[in-house]
Amino acid sequence: MMNKNVENAINQQVNREEFSSRLYLAMAIWCESNGFPGAAGFLYKHAEEERIHMLKLVHYVADRGGQAKLLPMEEPTQTYNTLLDLFGEILKHEMFITGSINELYGIALKENEFTTANFLQWYITEQVEEEALFSTILDKIKLVGSDKAGMFHIDKELEGMAMAKAVTNVGA
């Protein structure tokens, strides 16, 4: 049986992962409406990935005899000035998620929920990858500045990343 403090903390993280999925969906919609189809495809895939992260937590709580809960959440921002602003917000959001995963890990250790702490290792590793990915994308966008040809190439690169992710997830 799962410790109630840990279960409540995981339910908070379920909420954050669900918000992440909605945030990336809103960002994808903005990109698609503003001439960045590659970035849109990349973010649609990322929205689905965040939903999967949420479901892993939901199933884990159920497997441990607890009950996942869907909590109220704020509506994500749906307008951005530039692609640079959008990806800057993503990096800030991922850093927030890293902090919340680390906090959840600390709660699990404090409550002697070592199985949960072990389960959360995957999320900790995933967050290192997420921050590195979005930091790199943001650096590239900063590098090209407002150069339209450069932005076109960034968008194409994001499209390629979305396609590569789709191929890797086939049969997963």
> Does position 166 have pLDDT exceeding 50, yes or no?
yes
Q: What is the pLDDT of residue 165?
A: 72
> Does position 167 have pLDDT exceeding 60, yes or no?
no
pLDDT in tens, 108-148: 999 999 999 999 999 999 999 999 999 999 999 999 999 99
> Does position 171 have pLDDT exceeding 70, yes or no?
no
Mean pLDDT to the nearest integer, 149-167: 89
State the average pLDDT for the chain: 95
Please tell me the least confidently modeled range out of 24-28, 77-81, 168-172: 168-172
- Our CA angle for 135, 22, 7, nearest 5°, is 95
What one-character-per-residue DSSP string does 23-78 give? HHHHHHHHHHHTT-HHHHHHHHHHHHHHHHHHHHHHHHHHHTT--------PPPP-
Give the distance from CA 76 to its chain's centroid. 13
Helix runs in 64-113, H state only: 83-110
For the chain, percent of residues with pLDDT exceeding 90: 93
The first and second tokens of residue 147, run together, are 């150069």
Q: What is the pLDDT of residue 1?
A: 87
Q: What is the pLDDT of residue 163?
A: 87
Helix runs in 3-36, H state only: 4-33
The superfamily CATH assigns to domain 4-169 is: Ferritin, core subunit, four-helix bundle (1.20.1260.10)
More confident residue, 64 or 169: 64
* pLDDT band, very low/low/confident/very high, at 164 (cuts 50, 70, 90): confident
Q: What is the pLDDT of residue 170?
A: 46
Q: What is the pLDDT of residue 169?
A: 54
The domain limits of the chain are: 4-169
Distance CA 116, CA 11 (A): 13
Q: What is the pLDDT of residue 168?
A: 57
